[in-house]
Chain A
Amino acid sequence: MKTTHLMAATALALVSGLGTTGARADDLTLCWAAWDPANALIELSKDFEATSGHKMSFEFVPWPNFADRMLNELNSGGQLCDLMIGDSQWIGLGAEAGHYVKLNDFFEAEGISMADFIPATVTGYSEWPKGTPNYWALPAFGDVVGWTYRRDWFERPELQAEFREMHGRDLAPPKTLAELKDIAAFFQGREIDGTTVYGAAIYTERGSEGITMGVTNALYNFGFLYENPDKPYDMDGYVNSPEAAAGLEFYKALYDCCTPPGSSDWYMSENIDAYKSGQVALQMNFAFIWPGVNADPNVGGDRSGYFPNPAGPGGHFAQLGGQGISVVSYSDSQAAALEYIKWFAQPEVQKKWWELGGYSALRAVVEDPGFATSQPYAQTFLDSMAIVKDFWAEPAYASLLLSMQDRVHKYVIAGEGTAQEALDKLVEDWVEVFEDEGKL
């Protein structure tokens, strides 16, 4: 830890030195996942190249290999990446294994205040240990699971009438998970414009993190907790409480009743395809897709609406996504990398970032009076970011995630055992992981 401190300080000295002596042009490589927002960042960064004289290169790795490839790079002390927009769950590992440069001193020197960012993103993307003012990243891209719905279908008078008769209320974006299921069931198998449509596309993917990122939206809202709030790593009775089991049962019921046939291994991209091709009335997905939905020739504009994850009997939460940007401690160009972060944190740049389709986490951007109406999904983004909760960010998060993928997919998709059994076993797996880690 001391060494990273030292490095940050040296880097800092370099930055301030550079400010006066004029720039030494560096080649910076920024590593991120290969997806929509990453391309927007290329466009945005042209401004940085012009003002700083540094040259930016980008290494975008596809999501399914992103973690393997990048963690392998970090673990071996690789110098490929100077800047890393790593997944929020890596922060514990990045901090404890010394992959990331601690940014506290740099923030202080440059007058960057974490209070200027949406609190949930600071906790989610920057802090380790959580809840302490130790920063390892600058919130770069806010993201959260929310829902997209076919407004054009919802507004059809004949469907409105039928739904009201059936449920005694309007066909409108749901306020609770139970309502959401009613709506999904209402559309399931229905004939619309000559084709059979289905209720909802939800996350069910097995291979990486898909079904976990989906099922937590039900679990949290039924009362699932990762651990005893008063006693860290005490999970029995929280992870597998009867409420949590009810949440898991709800997700399976939703999968069984109201999703398209064959949607057993779906994540972001499959859900988008199903929604854009008019197969489903509702789509669960991360907010990053909303600009694309809004611009789509078939379902864009007024034809789609957005709503945050609905509340459940045990609370109102949504799964956090998104990432912070960190400086890799093995980089030779730390000074220039820090310069990039300083540039990126500026309000004007953040504003432009939002315009290009990047979800800025800067409060000055999202709290601007014009923000909520700037895009049809802006308000939903704000509402969703207010209720986020994240998966474990422990250094061992990957093992925790793998167990959850395994247990949940077995129950929800393959139909093995009961929800209670699945969660009981999950507790056993997690206890084993934390014992291996020496935290239990």
Chain B
Amino acid sequence: MSAYSVTAPSRRQQWIAGVLVALYAVITLLPLLWIFTTGFKSPSDAIAYPPKLAFEPTLEGYVNLFTTQTRQTEAYLAENPPESWYEEMVHAKGMVIAGPSRFGERFLNSVIIGFGSTFLSVFLGTLAAYAFSRYRVPLKDDLLFFILSTRMMPPIAVAIPIFLMFRSLGLSDTHAGMILLYTAVNLSLSVWLLKGFMDEIPREYEEAALIDGYTRFQAFRKVVLPQAATGIAATAIFCLIFAWNEYAFAVLLTSGTAQTAPPFIPTIIGVGGQDWPAVAAGATLFLLPVMVFTILLRKHLLRGITFGAVRK
């Protein structure tokens, strides 16, 4: 795919390209870097006017992220001296820790729902894509467009019927319900991308396997799947990014048990106003799993996205 030849770019060309890409990356990184550093600022440094470049790093944001705090009376504070460094941090503001915040459980929900629905949408997507790619499915083009069209309805528009439906099925505010919902939303992307990948895998491999005595199903499992691994990885990343960050359905359809982190993070309230360091800390931690997942699958993402959704 990338053998050197007369068409290889010259050194100078590479150098210019490298500089331009790095420049773009740095600009695009600035807001992220700012979010990351804000997580280590004190609340007053985070909103300092004029903005501060140098600041004393503190873990206050992370402490606020993981605890619920309330104001207490002087007398109570004097009676209950702090027992740890983080309690001391909270006491200094005239507050006490009333308990852990719900960030931990929301984060866990995100992991269950995010990865669960990613698995399911990639699994179902692979099966469907294989069928569309290899068999003469009646009304193939119409079915494919139907699958795409399921992505077109604004979530707000279907939220009320879905809410009522989930409630009557007992799926409201459950992990299973959210996994099914996100899977349904992601299936369009999954089927379309994966069908492209499957189209690219030469049929000769399967034919050879069939001649060797494999059944159709075995051929799919032992020959096609490994070949499509790159495509599956790339699809999984896109599906995870969506499910991980989805906001509108999460706000409207979940509450105590199955709520994910995105509705929680931007609304962490500190003393009076928004607690920017805690929000930044939450955003940073929340980015990590997807980032790690992407880096792990990076090779596949960069190579594998050669889906030929393009060739029919």
* A residues lining the B interface (CB < 8 Å): 29, 34-36, 39-40, 42-43, 46, 57, 59, 61-65, 68-69, 72-73, 76, 78, 80, 195, 268-270, 272-274, 276-279, 288-289, 291-293, 295-298, 355-357
Q: What 0/1 pattern do residues 255 to 280 of B give for CB contact below 8 A with A?
A: 11000000100110101111010000
Closest beta carbon of chain A to B248's beta carbon, Å: 10
Known A42-B98, A356-B70; judge A34-B267 contact (CB<8 A): yes
State the CA gap A29–B257 with chains docked (Å).
Answer: 12
Residue of B nearest to A63 (CB): B267
State the CA gap A43–B70 with chains docked (Å).
Answer: 7
State the CA gap A288–B271 with chains docked (Å).
Answer: 10
Residue of B nearest to A288 (CB): B272
The reply to whether B263 and A277 contact each other, CB–CB distance below 8 Å, is no
State the CA gap A297–B271 with chains docked (Å).
Answer: 11
Q: Which among A43, A59, A268 has the highest number of chain B CB atoms within 10 Å?
A: A43
The reply to whether A269 and B68 contact each other, CB–CB distance below 8 Å, is no
Known A39-B70, A68-B252, A76-B164; judge A277-B273 contact (CB<8 A): no
The reply to whether B99 and A36 contact each other, CB–CB distance below 8 Å, is no
Known A59-B256, A72-B252; judge A278-B49 contact (CB<8 A): yes
Q: A40-B71, A64-B267, A69-B255 are in contact. List 12 more A-B contacts (CB 8 A).
A: A36-B272, A42-B68, A42-B98, A43-B71, A46-B98, A57-B256, A59-B255, A68-B251, A272-B272, A276-B273, A279-B49, A298-B44
Known A276-B47, A277-B44, A278-B49; judge A43-B272 contact (CB<8 A): no
The reply to whether B98 and A195 contact each other, CB–CB distance below 8 Å, is no
State the CA gap A290–B276 with chains docked (Å).
Answer: 19
Residue of A nearest to B101 (CB): A39
Is the CB of B93 closer than 8 A to any CB of chain A? yes
Is the CB of B50 closer than 8 A to any CB of chain A? yes
The reply to whether B49 and A195 contact each other, CB–CB distance below 8 Å, is yes
* B residues lining the A interface (CB < 8 Å): 44, 47-50, 68-73, 93-94, 96, 98-99, 160, 163-164, 167, 173, 251-252, 255-256, 263, 266-267, 269, 271-274, 276
Closest beta carbon of chain A to B114's beta carbon, Å: 20
A-B contact pairs, 28 of them (CB 8 A): A35-B269, A42-B68, A42-B70, A42-B98, A42-B99, A43-B72, A43-B96, A46-B98, A62-B263, A65-B263, A68-B251, A69-B251, A69-B252, A73-B255, A76-B163, A80-B256, A268-B272, A269-B272, A270-B273, A274-B49, A276-B272, A277-B44, A277-B49, A292-B273, A295-B271, A296-B271, A297-B44, A355-B73
Cβ of A295: which chain B residues have Cβ within 8 Å of it? 71, 93-94, 271
The reply to whether B71 and A277 contact each other, CB–CB distance below 8 Å, is no
State the CA gap A171–B68 with chains docked (Å).
Answer: 40
Known A36-B271, A268-B273; judge A62-B94 contact (CB<8 A): no
Closest beta carbon of chain A to B71's beta carbon, Å: 5
A-B complex: 8 closest residue pairs judged by Cβ atoms: A62-B267, A292-B272, A272-B273, A43-B70, A269-B273, A277-B49, A292-B271, A289-B272
Closest beta carbon of chain B to A409's beta carbon, Å: 21
Q: Which among B93, B256, B273 has the highest number of chain A CB atoms within 10 Å?
A: B273
The reply to whether B163 and A72 contact each other, CB–CB distance below 8 Å, is yes
State the CA gap A73–B259 with chains docked (Å).
Answer: 15
State the CA gap A295–B271 with chains docked (Å).
Answer: 9
Q: Which among A73, A273, A292, A298 has the highest number of chain B CB atoms within 10 Å?
A: A273
Cβ of A36: which chain B residues have Cβ within 8 Å of it? 269, 271-272
Cβ of A289: which chain B residues have Cβ within 8 Å of it? 272-273
Cβ of B93: which chain A residues have Cβ within 8 Å of it? 295
State the CA gap A40–B68 with chains docked (Å).
Answer: 10
Closest beta carbon of chain A to B55's beta carbon, Å: 13
State the CA gap A208–B173 with chains docked (Å).
Answer: 25
Tell which of B48, B98, B164, B266 touches A39, judged by Cβ atoms closer than 8 Å.
B98
Closest beta carbon of chain A to B311's beta carbon, Å: 44
Cβ of B167: which chain A residues have Cβ within 8 Å of it? 76, 78
Cβ of A80: which chain B residues have Cβ within 8 Å of it? 173, 255-256
Closest beta carbon of chain A to B131's beta carbon, Å: 38
Closest beta carbon of chain A to B279's beta carbon, Å: 11
Known A65-B263, A80-B255; judge A273-B73 contact (CB<8 A): no
Residue of A nearest to B97 (CB): A43
Q: Which among B71, B93, B94, B173 has the highest number of chain A CB atoms within 10 Å?
A: B71
Residue of B nearest to A78 (CB): B167
Residue of A nearest to B49 (CB): A277
Cβ of B98: which chain A residues have Cβ within 8 Å of it? 39, 42-43, 46
The reply to whether A356 and B255 contact each other, CB–CB distance below 8 Å, is no
Cβ of B276: which chain A residues have Cβ within 8 Å of it? 273
Cβ of A29: which chain B residues have Cβ within 8 Å of it? 256
Residue of A nearest to B92 (CB): A297
Closest beta carbon of chain A to B111's beta carbon, Å: 21
State the CA gap A62–B70 with chains docked (Å).
Answer: 17
Cβ of A72: which chain B residues have Cβ within 8 Å of it? 160, 163, 252
State the CA gap A63–B68 with chains docked (Å).
Answer: 17
Cβ of B251: which chain A residues have Cβ within 8 Å of it? 65, 68-69
The reply to whether A269 and B73 contact each other, CB–CB distance below 8 Å, is no
Residue of A nearest to B167 (CB): A76
Cβ of B267: which chain A residues have Cβ within 8 Å of it? 34, 62-64
State the CA gap A46–B168 with chains docked (Å).
Answer: 34
Closest beta carbon of chain B to A27's beta carbon, Å: 11
Cβ of B164: which chain A residues have Cβ within 8 Å of it? 76
The reply to whether A277 and B48 contact each other, CB–CB distance below 8 Å, is yes
State the CA gap A61–B160 with chains docked (Å).
Answer: 19
Residue of B nearest to A290 (CB): B272
The reply to whether A291 and B47 contact each other, CB–CB distance below 8 Å, is no
The reply to whether B71 and A357 contact each other, CB–CB distance below 8 Å, is yes
Tell which of B70, B173, B272 touches A40, judged by Cβ atoms closer than 8 Å.
B70
State the CA gap A357–B49 with chains docked (Å).
Answer: 27
State the CA gap A380–B144 with chains docked (Å).
Answer: 65
The reply to whether B269 and A356 contact each other, CB–CB distance below 8 Å, is no
State the CA gap A289–B266 with chains docked (Å).
Answer: 19
State the CA gap A276–B252 with chains docked (Å).
Answer: 33
Cβ of A292: which chain B residues have Cβ within 8 Å of it? 271-273
Residue of A nearest to B42 (CB): A297
Tell which of B50, B72, B256, B272 touches A293, judged by Cβ atoms closer than 8 Å.
B272
Closest beta carbon of chain B to A300's beta carbon, Å: 10
Tell which of B69, B173, B269, B272 touches A34, judged by Cβ atoms closer than 8 Å.
B269
Known A62-B266, A273-B47; judge A291-B71 contact (CB<8 A): yes
Closest beta carbon of chain A to B104's beta carbon, Å: 16
The reply to whether B274 and A269 contact each other, CB–CB distance below 8 Å, is yes
State the CA gap A357–B71 with chains docked (Å).
Answer: 7
Cβ of A76: which chain B residues have Cβ within 8 Å of it? 163-164, 167
Residue of A nearest to B173 (CB): A80
